């Protein structure tokens, strides 16, 4: 369950990053939320693998 949620969060983060248009070099809300989702998903996947 946690592993599938982690993969879903990583997928959403990757899709959000692909849709962001890099107009300025600052970190906007889309990029920040994408980075947060990517890190959270990676942590869930790593935690799921360590549990076994």
Specify the pLDDT at position 25: 63
Domain segments of the chain: what residues? 2-18+28-50
28 Cβ neighbours under 8 A, 6+ residues apart: 20
How much is the pTM? Answer: 0.46
pLDDT tens, the chain, 52 aa long: 777 888 787 777 777 656 666 665 677 777 888 888 888 888 888 888 775 5
Which pLDDT score, from 0 to 100, does residue 8 have?
Answer: 80
Determine the pLDDT at residue 20. Answer: 60
């Amino acid at each position: 369950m946690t592993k599938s949620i982690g993969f879903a969060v990583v997928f959403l983060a990757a899709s959000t990053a692909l849709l962001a248009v890099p107009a300025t070099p600052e970190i906007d809300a889309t990029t920040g939320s994408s980075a947060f989702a990517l890190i959270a998903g990676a942590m869930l996947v790593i935690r799921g693998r360590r549990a076994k």
